[in-house]
Structure 1
Amino acid sequence: MQDTRKAWAHAQSWPLLSWLTPSLPVLLIHPDGSQSHWQGHRPARRPASPKDAKARGAFVALELPSDLVLSRTIRLPVGMSRADTGNALALQARTFSPFPPEDLIWVSDATPVPSTYTLVLASRLQVDQYVQELRQRMPAVVGASPAEVWVAIGAQKYAALPGAGVERRQRLIARQRNLGYALLLCIVAVLTAMAVTPTLQLRMRALQAAAAYEDVVRRTAPVVRDREQVVLASNKLNALSEILGERIEPLRVIDTLTQILPDEAAVQALQLVGTKVSLSGQATDAAELMQKLGQHPGIREVKAPAAATRLNNSNKESFSIEFVVDAKVFGTAGPQTAVAGATQVPGSAAVAPAAATSATSVAPAASTASGAGVRR
């Protein structure tokens, strides 16, 4: 704890903090009766009259005559700490003092030469007698308050001997310095508050917005669930509509083939997979049949996966034809049409008997198609 106090006392002399330590006015009374004004331990720039100095609360210091002090220059090793330096100077003062230890009073001050100090010794009894004599001789100037005692250690340079007067001035300096620190902390706190307040306001707004958003989400949760269900149902309906739109109605394909195929043609197998139709059977001219299929609206990409072959002892050719039907022409118009078509699929074999009235050769083809069935 003591080390912390010493470090803080040393930090107060830094240029960053030294301006907070005030320099109080001091009225110095010399041995010849003359007076000078000082600001701390420096000469005042604008000397004032004694009455004005008293009115401003100036402290009074008495310069001790040179015949009452002993001075000595002490040189210490370089690099000593402040504590070791103080102990070494105290030892030197006790060593060179001609006064009893209880009567010794001393002060030291550093010189411009590194590790060199001026040590001033005096008798406490002689100092008190000098102060009393000067107070009786100049009661209006010295006053009844404890006066400081200064000793000259150089040209225009003084050091204050320990005493009640110095302690009184040091207490006032410490009080004003602490007040300065308090004001500085207040200024820093105000500036910090001014800098932080907008950030805090933005944070509060963000928290309020987040809370409001959570409240809206909580209140609209049922609506959002209903909307998700509606969107899901709509997607399902769209997918079903696409499926139904691409679905080929088998009865329309069979009816169209019944109209396109010539009477002498016979269909042995009919397969429907998606929009692709595979047709195999017998006809007099397979090439002409493919040409008719390619010219019919809604039928495209007519091709023969295998070459047509002529049957022995017959004028007919065995063919195999594949083509693609257009869903817009042969597709189902809707679910009702699909259902209707599904109910009519078992009666698709009736197409052949209807065609059999015009040509007897179509009946075997229709019966073959009905026997093979329509595969999707």
Structure 2
Amino acid sequence: MPLLSSDAKLFGIDLSTLGGQLREAWQQLAHLPWMRRFMPRFPVKVAGWESRPDGMAWVRGDRLEWVQRANGGTTASPDYAAVLLPSEQVLVRTLRLPAMSPKALHGAVQLDVQMMSPFTEEQTLWAYAARSPGGASSVRLVDVVITSRDQVEGALKEQGYRLPAGMAPEVWADAVTQTIMITGFGEQRRLAREARQRIWLLTGVLVVAALAAALAATPTAQLYLRAEDANAQFARLTQATRDVVTKRQALVAEAESVSALMDRRNQQIDHLRVMALLTRVLPDDTAVQRVQFKGDKLTVQGLSDDTSEAVRLLSKEPGLRDVRLPSAVTRSSRTSKESFTLEATLDPAVLGVHAMDEAKDESEATGTPSVPAKEGA
């Protein structure tokens, strides 16, 4: 099985006929009335007959506009010359054909000419022009003119002396409602000039469109360039301050560590002050057997004659909160004392290590010596 197909198609488009389709589309566009107004026109000296006297006309492509019909006269010097064939030398037909492409229309008219022409194939000259009957009908009217080469050459010889010297005349023929150009004579020079002017006109339009697009895109481009410049400057600033940012982050981390250390220091309990407080507050009949510190939690186990009195005295001391007996009090059979377990929450603001430092600082600032804790039994 071959890997490549011989059909020149891309996405269903036949590339072999793409050029012809583009030319047909351009021809259809060029024949639109509003598009024809932008095409260049030239003054033409037309040599006519008794039914159509000599005169001036404007010509655009394959369309002839008589000056007498438009504005009654012109002072423009003719650039080209043309011969109008008399009506007795032209066979005129009007065909009603459905809407079709220019290529198909040309083939249909050519077939009709071959069937209806009274001249030989070498002698037959023909031309046509399509027009719309008006309304929304899809039928097109096609005016066809048929003549012979000998008659055209005879008309050129007969009318040549009436035309400006040095100009190869064009050949035109009157149809039903319009004048049709018969190709193959002096129209090539004018059509080439029109093509050049169309190219210049199209180039000018493209340049204007490009300038308009550039003008419209300039603010956006400026904003884009400013954004790119800002990004580049930000990248350079980031690169230049990378070391400073790194040092700042390290300093912030050290400050956070110091702050955490200070918080832990502020929460640290002064165990000696707690022991001194217990010795001072507890009555003489109370014996402490075990003291346990767990953070700010204090657990005291001991013997006392009156456990409730010991709890009451400790509850009144600043720095001790939530003094309670977590378990029932039992009485020892050997000593007749109450065995208790006491729990309390220590306040670092009163019994912490920093509280002693603050007390020293205050005493030094006021000049009064700090009062030592009283030693209890």
Structure 1-normalised TM-score? 0.79
Secondary structure of the equivalent of 2:205? helix
Give 1:110's match in structure 2, choosing from 130, 152, 162.
130
Structure 1 counterpart of 2:170: 148
Structure 1 counterpart of 2:44: 26
Matches within 5 A, 1:196-275: 196-275=217-296
In structure 2, do the counterparts of structure 1 residues 75 and 283 end up closer, same or farther at CA, with 3 Å as the change threshold? closer
Matches within 5 A, 1:84-163: 84-110=104-130, 112=132, 114-136=139-161, 138-139=162-163, 142-155=164-177, 157-163=178-184
Secondary structure of the equivalent of 1:100? coil
Distance 1:28 1:47 in 2: 15
Q: Which amino acid aligns with 2:150?
A: L
Distance 1:163 1:105 in 2: 9
Structure 2 counterpart of 1:38: 57
Give 2:31's match in structure 1, choosing from 2, 13, 36.
13
Structure 1 counterpart of 2:304: 283
Distance 1:19 1:73 in 2: 26
Contact in 2 for aligned 1:104/1:122 (Cα 8 Å): yes
Structure 2-normalised TM-score? 0.79
Distance 1:125 1:53 in 2: 33
Secondary structure of the equivalent of 2:197? helix
Distance apart, 1:228 and its partner CA: 1.2
Distance apart, 1:16 and its partner CA: 6.7
Secondary structure of the equivalent of 2:236? helix
Bigger Rg, structure 1 or 2 = 1
Secondary structure of the equivalent of 1:31? coil
* Deviation larger for 305-314 or 178-187: 305-314
Structure 1 counterpart of 2:200: 179
Distance 1:278 1:115 in 2: 114
Secondary structure of the equivalent of 1:174? helix
Contact in 2 for aligned 1:269/1:280 (Cα 8 Å): yes
Q: Deviations over 1:169-222 (max 9, x none)?
A: 222222222221111101100011111122222222222221221112112111
In structure 2, do the counterparts of structure 1 residues 253 and 313 end up closer, same or farther at CA, with 3 Å as the change threshold? same
Structure 2 counterpart of 1:368: none
* Deviation larger for 174-183 or 313-322: 313-322
Contact in 1 for aligned 2:143/2:176 (Cα 8 Å): no
Distance 2:267 2:132 in 1: 107
Distance 1:293 1:334 in 2: 19
Secondary structure of the equivalent of 2:285? coil
Secondary structure of the equivalent of 1:154? coil
In structure 2, do the counterparts of structure 1 residues 313 and 120 end up closer, same or farther at CA, with 3 Å as the change threshold? closer
Distance 1:46 1:196 in 2: 45
Overall identity of the aligned pairs, in %: 30
Distance 1:16 1:194 in 2: 28
In structure 2, do the counterparts of structure 1 residues 18 and 129 end up closer, same or farther at CA, with 3 Å as the change threshold? closer
Distance apart, 1:93 and its partner CA: 2.3
Structure 1 counterpart of 2:92: 71
Q: Which amino acid aligns with 2:213?
A: T
In structure 2, do the counterparts of structure 1 residues 321 and 116 end up closer, same or farther at CA, with 3 Å as the change threshold? same
Distance apart, 1:263 and its partner CA: 1.7
Structure 1 unaligned runs (5+)? 338-353, 363-376
Q: Note the aligned Cα RMSD (angstroms).
A: 2.7
* Deviation larger for 87-96 or 317-326: 87-96
Distance apart, 1:7 and its partner CA: 2.6
Distance 1:120 1:335 in 2: 125
Contact in 2 for aligned 1:93/1:121 (Cα 8 Å): yes
Distance 1:13 1:116 in 2: 15
* More helix per residue: 1
Q: Which amino acid aligns with 1:144?
A: G
Q: Which amino acid aligns with 1:330?
A: L
Q: Which amino acid aligns with 1:108?
A: Y
Distance apart, 1:296 and its partner CA: 1.0
Q: Which amino acid aligns with 1:53?
A: A
Contact in 2 for aligned 1:284/1:317 (Cα 8 Å): yes
In structure 2, do the counterparts of structure 1 residues 16 and 201 end up closer, same or farther at CA, with 3 Å as the change threshold? farther
Matched length = 332
Secondary structure of the equivalent of 1:333? helix
